[in-house]
Amino acid sequence: MKKYLIDRHIIIWFYEGNEKLPKKIRSFLENENEKIVFSMVSFIEISIKINIGKLKLKENTSKLIDKCKKHWNIKNSFTKKKLQIYENLPLHHRDTFDRILIAHAKAKNMTIITMDRNFKKYDIDIFSF
């Protein structure tokens, strides 16, 4: 069964009810039969953006993480294999957190759920919407 990894903005849009999130993605994320995971790396990025004033959420990150755990599985580990993939990714863009998610998805052969166009520059499977 195919596994899916959620990008940060998708998590935020899903829980905050943002209309930018296409209905197809929302329905997919609500499907309990899909193997969907999120990474704590996304929450490190969220925390940094909150700390520097670039992001405000309706709830604190702790509550958001708890909600994510109810819907999806969590991935925390960053293995040697993922690190090697990360080191060898082309520098199509320099967003560290995006690149970590890309390395994770490549290592585990997962599809990334994102609307970030930069992901299309990489040899990675992206959820089509």
Does residue 126 fall inside a structural domain?
A: no
Residue the block writes with tokens 């890309």: 102
Does residue 30 fall inside a structural domain?
A: yes
What confidence category does residue 94 fall into, taking pLDDT thresholds of 50, 70 and 90?
A: confident
In the chain, % of residues over pLDDT 90: 84
Structure tokens belonging to residue 53: 């004033």
Query: Taking 90 as the threshold, does the pLDDT of residue 3 lie above it?
Result: yes
What confidence category does residue 1 fall into, taking pLDDT thresholds of 50, 70 and 90?
A: confident
Does residue 129 fall inside a structural domain?
A: no
Task: To the nearest 10°, report the CA torsion of 108, 35, 98, 124.
Answer: 60
Task: In whole angstroms, give the CA distance from residue 104 to residue 79.
Answer: 9
Helices (H) and strands (E) in the chain, counts: 6, 4
Model pLDDT, residue 48: 95
Residue the block writes with tokens 């970590």: 100
Q: Please compute the mean of the pLDDT values over residues 104-117 and round it to a whole number.
A: 95
Total tally of structural domains belonging to the chain: 1
Does residue 49 fall inside a structural domain?
A: yes
Does residue 128 fall inside a structural domain?
A: no
Does residue 90 fall inside a structural domain?
A: yes
Which CATH number covers residue 39? Answer: 3.40.50.1010
Q: What is the mean pLDDT of the chain?
A: 93
**For residue 60, what are the contacts with CB-CB under 8 A and spacing of at least 6?**
none
